[in-house]
Amino acid sequence: MKKILVLILLGLPLLACAQSQSAQETDAKETAAQQDPAERNKMLYSLGFLLGDNLKRQLVLDNEDDYKALSQGMRDSLLNKKAQTDIEKYKPQIVKKYEDDAKTIAAKRQAEQQEYLTNFAKEKGVKTLDNGAMVKLSRAGKGKNPKADSVVKVHYTGTLIDGTKFDSSRDRGEAFKTRLTDVIPCWTKAVQQLKPGARATVVCPPDTAYGNRPVGQIPPSSALVFDIELIDVGA
């Protein structure tokens, strides 16, 4: 994946995806969906679900009472009702909660990722490279390995350690061609371990991928897992 193209290839923001999908629909279908109350409810439910999913990535909500209080506040705001609390009074506590929860969530993610990396490194057949990237062949290839500056053609699927898919050339139905100097460090090293026809699981620690930068659906400081198939090696 080229560094310039990766922002597009590794999952667009929700709004951009929605706009892209809407552009592909016909005006007739859009009008029909808007007029169908059941479909509108499903759309709004889906939006609410996604908003909730986003909130839980930023906040620690421990129990049903937390959910009820949060949803009641959102409901009152959406219905333009008078707030049941002194909002200004609680703003400092809200800011502190976001800050504290961000640290808690980051620490939990770091622990989960370290556990994943440690366990994967112990699996049979895993090769750990000098930059920390790990490669596990599922199918051997034939021919010459690419060099660090080779142009390669691959199929790949990228996921987070929890299995969340953020990109796939297979889903697009088109192999990805790139020079290995133009991709994340993990790929530069790992793909050199493959011969044409080979397929492997490649696990990238955060510092061999995007570090502490969020990219598309990828949170900052994320370990990434790729299923890579090397199709061809060019000059």
Would you please indicate which residues are annotated as catalytic (active-site) residues? 156, 166-167, 184, 210, 226
Q: Sort residue 159 into left (φ over 0), alpha (ψ -120 to 50) or beta.
A: beta
Do the bridges between strand 176-179 and strand 126-128 make them parallel or antiparallel, or are there none, so unpaired? Answer: unpaired
Closest Cα to residue 147, out of 56, 31, 235, 83? Answer: 235
Closest Cα to residue 58, out of 43, 47, 70? Answer: 70
Cα(19)–Cα(65) distance, integer angstroms: 35
Q: Which residues contact 131 (CB under 8 A, 6 or more apart)?
A: 185, 186, 189, 208
Closest Cα to residue 5, out of 195, 191, 192, 169? Answer: 169
Cα(174)–Cα(234) distance, integer angstroms: 17
